[in-house]
Structure 1
Amino acid sequence: MADAPMGAVRIGPRVVRKLQPANGKDRVNGLIEGCSLSRLGRFPFVKMCLAAVSVAAGAGALLADWNETHIHNPRWTPHAKFHNAQTMSLGVHLSAVILWLLWGRKPYNHTALNWATVAAAT
């Protein structure tokens, strides 16, 4: 295989041309540095939104399943109740991890915000 031409990158069998911005900066980093995406962690509104989604998911599982139709249903087998409790505890623990990633680590870490966003989306 021939090498990729100048200003291009080989990705597998394909050659992809890199965009060359006028100011000479890397296109992707320039876009991220130039917009508010690189400053998301400094905005408490974004963290509060992710925290609200996390708490709603963790508490929602407990509120929805801790009743006579789910965990206290006498017609459910113990194995089914176990899996329901396992799902509820997973939601609570995932919520706790998200809150720790958002608010518990100092100094601010952009990677922690990314992981908290991914975890909240699942």
Structure 2
Amino acid sequence: MLTRDFFPSPGQPTPQRKVILPYRLYEFARLRLSKILYCRDSNRTGTYPNVQFTFLGFTFRPREALNTQHHRRFTSFLPAVSNDALKRVRKEVREWRLHRRTSATLADLAEQCNPIIQGWWNYYGAD
């Protein structure tokens, strides 16, 4: 396995103790793509600067949920489609220019659009 010595930031003095990390993890740390995240929910209510993150088109953050047994609402750390992913979906649908396809029947439009929409539905899910 490739490894590299990890230092908190370039130009800083060498720490007392070196930490050996896998090379890819080192690259994330070096580029500052990794950060400590506070998973706030009903039991952890503190305030911290980082309470959400986006990964593979999903934003994980505190969201309201429903306890189906007791019919109570509570806060839980849950995923949902990210705003950037929604923008990409909207942009692609606009590029289809459905309003300009006046000669196509509704069945033709559905045949063209349904496979793509079903793919989004399967990936992002629906509640």
Q: Which TM class, normalised by the smaller chain length?
A: 0.3 to 0.5
| Structure with a larger share of its residues in strand | 2
TM-score, structure 1 as length reference: 0.35
TM-score, structure 2 as length reference: 0.34
Larger relative contact order, structure 1 or 2 (CA cutoff 8 Å, min sep 6): 1
